[in-house]
Amino acid sequence: MEALFMLNHRAAALEQPLKWLAFALGLGSTVSIVQGWHLAAMRFGLPFCLIWVYCGWLRTEPQLKLINIIFSALYVYGLARYFLAAGV
């Protein structure tokens, strides 16, 4: 039981740095959208969503988890479609 507490404590300690990273990724994604760099926007957006999925699990926020899982799936679809169309 103590090991589970230590794991949760370590995960909580990572939450704030991850949120700052998500903030930077969100800014990068927004700039990419404004500039018309669609691939870059998806590359910034996917890790942004995955961080928030993790933070949602950490705090057991079901709506945050579901929204970001849906967006993550859409980003994966967009990236796969891009690379399949490019023949990479």
Going residue by residue through the chain, which has 88 residues, state the pLDDT in tens, using 9 for 90 and above: 565 555 566 767 888 899 899 999 999 999 999 999 999 999 999 999 999 888 877 667 778 888 889 999 999 999 999 999 988 6
Residue 37 lies in a domain: yes
Question: Which residues constitute the domain of residue 69?
Answer: 23-86
Distances (CA, A) of 88 to 18, 61, 79: 31, 37, 11
Residue 27 lies in a domain: yes
Residue 4 lies in a domain: no
Residue 54 lies in a domain: yes
Which pair of structure tokens corresponds to residue 74?
């859409």
pLDDT of res. 53: 84
Contact 48, 22 (CB under 8 A): yes
Which pair of structure tokens corresponds to residue 64?
């945050």
Residue 15 lies in a domain: no
Residue 9 lies in a domain: no
What is the C-alpha separation between 77 and 85, in angstroms, rounded? 12
